[in-house]
Structure 1
């Protein structure tokens, strides 16, 4: 598990434990409703941490398909490989593309809801970005 996720879970646990302590210290007539409310908040947090990785993977699969369609339109007849960087420190919607006819180059595309744009490129030593066959200077807006 990534350290950021561990920190998020620890903070959520401390928050919920604090809410339970406060709920138990409330007067008897308010205690039952407050414990039910805190239990509901706990359930929502557990659901959030359980569903979030699957939701991100689902969104990435949709974005990958969208990027595939974009590349087929702009570079017909070419072969490429799309991969993503794994880890919480990387944006899951930044997808790395390596074209077969340009193996030393890696292009990173941002795939948003309404736009696809090339944001980063990794050329071989001694070459600039404009030397790449697939370099796009459109920029994200």
Structure 2
């Protein structure tokens, strides 16, 4: 499954005072599956305290690019959903994100701060097989 959100506004409504969920829970169980979630030029705001994502599938893949993240993001950023083995197989990353929640200093060691070349595949419409389902203007 391919999913991309461009220019969206994610508004989180979570209880203050403790971590109360995650923005994504991508389920990818096959390492050869090319799917994942990509968020490009988005804004994350709201209340409470949440993870960017949790590892629903063993090969979960989520990338945020050029996204503003408010202070509702847990410094760890990502959660292995209580299964440490997934830390070796999931792919979680961010690229040129901004805002207090985008600070990577406290991120889990198994997440990625993407370089320009690492981000390129996620910036292309080919990542979501757009040619097979998006109509040309």
Which bin holds the TM-score, normalised by the shorter protein?
under 0.3
Q: Which has the higher strand share?
A: 2
Normalization by structure 2: what TM-score? 0.22
| Rg larger for | 1
Taking structure 1 as the reference length, the TM-score comes to: 0.22
